Amino acid sequence: MPVVAVLVTMAAVLAATVAFGIGAGAAQASGGAGEATTRQSAAVGPQEEPQPVQTVKDLCHNCLGADDAICWELPPYECAVSVTIGWVAKNDVVVRFGTVDQSARAGIDYLPVKDGVITVPAGSQRGTGVVRLVPGKPTDQDRSFLIQLYQPSEGEISQELGQVTISAGEPGQPVDPKG
């Protein structure tokens, strides 16, 4: 008797799901009962199908965005910051950027940039610039600042900010995502 109740309940949930369009893949649940039940349980349960990570290239052909970066307090005391574009540049693409404090402070942890330039060379999809770190006493906590893009010579900005983490660890060690 309990087995029949479970099947009836699953059938009712599946019918409601298809009728109201709830859950990914519910409308395609036209196969056998086993297939529909499997898709339904994935759609109703707390777990969701992992979505692919979207990149600037996925968002639009004419878009560009700031990339996140990690650097360490080691010579030459520089952080490479980069921009990715959604097309292969026929000509150099110039993007201006500035820095914005988070837990890292301009003048204490890094040298501020008000009007920096990153160039994506012709034939490429990525360009790199530099933000200099202030050498000093290393700390035991990661810190972060942002690069903010503006005024591209071509395309439109889809990801204006990129987070730069100054890691307190050694290269190759895990970085604290809280910065």
Please determine, for residue 177, whether its predicted confidence score (pLDDT) is greater than 70.
no
Give tens-digit pLDDT for 117-127. 999 999 999 99
Q: What is the pLDDT of residue 10?
A: 34
Q: What is the pLDDT of residue 31?
A: 38
- Total residue length of the chain: 179
- Chain mean pLDDT for the chain: 73
Q: How confident is the model at residue 139 (pLDDT cuts 50, 70, 90)?
A: confident
What residue spans define the domains of the chain?
Answer: 2-44, 56-167
Give tens-digit pLDDT for 15-73. 333 333 333 333 333 333 433 333 333 333 344 444 444 454 455 788 999 999 999 98
Superfamily of domain 56-167: CalX-beta domain (2.60.40.2030)
Burial 151-162 (b: 16+ CB within 10 A, else e): ebebbebbbeeb
